[in-house]
Each structure stands twice: as structure tokens, then as C-alpha cells.
Amino acid sequence: MKHCFAISLSIAVLLGNFIKLRAATTGPAPVESDSHGSQVCPMCCQGPAGTPGIPGIPGNQGQFGPAGEKGDAGVKGEKGEIGPFGAVGNPGPKGDDGMGLPGKAGPRGPPGLVGAIREAGVKGSKGEPGEASDDTAHWVAFTVTRTSHSDTSTSHETRLPFEQFKTLLPGTVFDLATGTFTCSVPGTYVFTFSVGKYSPSNLYVHLRKNDDQVVSGASTDHSPNEQVSGSAVLVLQRGDSVYLTFNGRAYTGSNRHYTSFSGFLIYSQ
């Protein structure tokens, strides 16, 4: 019996504490406007918590405030004073004597005794004009050619004749029939020759001064269209002769002139 009463009393105390704790959590119940002043049970009238609302749109940016006033200008500093000048240095030692430029030429002095005699002499009369020399006598040059089809020789002493002048300057002496140049102006000369060979024979050509053989050319090849040529520089005296001799068969054409002989004076003595 005592135990039952103690249990019932404990339950009553716990229930009272629970009611106080709930009332402290939910706050006092709202008061109705009726005259009876009845209270609503907070456990029966409180509903479930609602869904949180959507966050609001951010507001517009506020306007910029007015610009502040310009600050006062700073005070300019004063100019500094000029510092004192340094002391003047001592003069340096004297330099060595330099080499001076030559002075201007002085005025010309009076003529001496010999000069005075010359100045006192009588001026001579003007001389007569001299005669001009004939330079055409020193223009010596020739070129001769052959027009016959061919010519044959069995001796190395046979002179090669020519038949046509291509160049013959005044003062030049040349005999076509013997192919011989005769010196009329002493001096240094240049001579050249070119002789066509008639295939299939051999051909030998010699440039001679008087009776001396100076230079030679030869072709022993049986191929057609061969040329035998040579040249020499000779110092000649008046009356010396220069000519060509040949052995074999020399060929030329009426218009092509495969065979020719030339000479000219470089300078006279």
C-alpha cells in the first residue's frame, strides 16, 4: 500500500514538471476575446513548421555620392643658396718650343748682272713655220687573199702566190704574183697567215724573212676543213722581203677566202 502511494506520487510530480517545462518552451497561450477568458491548449493548436520562402532579389546599386572638394595646393619650397666658388689653380709649366710653319715668300729681288744684260738684249725675230711631216709614209699594212680553188707544191721552197688585196695602205709594197712584201719603212712589224688544207693531203707552210725560215705550221691529218696558221714579230730594214712558201695542196674558195696573209707596222725606227 505504501509502495503504490509512493509510485503514484512520483508520477504526479513528473507530470507536473513536464507541464511546466512545456509551458516554458511554447510561451503563454493567447488570450481569447470572449468574456470567459478561457485559454487554448498549446499542444493542440500548434501546426507543423512551414517551408522557407524564396530569397528576395538583390536591390539596385545606390548612386555615387558627390565628389569631394579639391585639397589646397602645397607650399613651394625656397631656392637654395649658391655655394662658394673653388680656389683658382696654379698655372702649369711652360711647354716645349714648337716647330713653326714657314713664312710667306718675300718679294722678288732685282735682277743680277747676267739678268740685266739679258733684259737689255734685243729680242729676236719670229722664225718661219716649219714643214709638216708626211705621216702617211709610216702607214704600212696589208691583207691579201687567194680566189683560186687550190694550188699544189711538191717543194718547201715554192712561194705561195695571192690574187686579191683586202687592205693595202699607202707606203706598202706587195707583189701578188710572188706573194712577197718588201719593206719600205724600217721598223717593227707583225705578220700572220692562215692557209686552208685540201683534204686528204698533207700541208706545210713557212713564213720567211729574205731566205730565213722564221715560223712554220703543218697539218698531216687527213680530216677535211683543216687550217694551218702562224704569226711572228719581225724587225725589218729597208729592202727586206717577207713571204710564204708551202708544200702540199692549199685550198681556198672564191668567196670564203680560207687562205690569207697579213702584215702591219707597229712603229718605225
**Biggest alpha carbon distance in the chain?**
197
The pLDDT value given to residue 45: 57
Name the residue among 232, 249, 221, 153 with its Cα closest to residue 193. 232
Q: Render each residue's pLDDT in the chain as its tens digit; 269 residues.
A: 555 555 666 666 666 665 555 555 444 544 444 444 444 444 555 677 778 777 777 777 767 778 878 877 767 767 767 767 667 767 777 766 656 566 677 677 666 554 444 455 556 676 565 444 455 567 899 999 998 888 889 999 999 999 999 999 998 999 999 999 999 999 999 999 999 998 788 999 999 999 999 999 999 887 777 899 999 999 999 999 999 999 999 988 777 889 999 999 999 98
User: E strand or H helix at 6, and its extent?
Assistant: helix 2-26
The full DSSP string for 101-116 is PPPPPPPPPPP-HHHH
Task: Tabulate helix, strand, coil % of the chain (nearest 5).
Answer: 15, 30, 55
- Enumerate the β-bridge partners of residue 241: 182
User: E strand or H helix at 215, and its extent?
Assistant: strand 212-219
The pLDDT value given to residue 76: 77
The pLDDT value given to residue 136: 54
The pLDDT value given to residue 85: 67
Cis peptide before 186 (omega within 30 of 0): no
The pLDDT value given to residue 123: 64
Cell of 185: 719603212
The pLDDT value given to residue 7: 61
Question: Can you give the pTM of this predicted structure?
Answer: 0.50
The radius of gyration of the chain from alpha carbons, rounded to an integer in Å, stands at 72
Cell of 13: 510530480
The CA–CA distances, whole Å, from 26 to 12, 21, 22, 43, 50 equal: 22, 9, 6, 9, 17
Query: What residues have CB less than 8 Å from 180, skipping those under 6 apart?
Result: 159, 174, 241, 242, 243
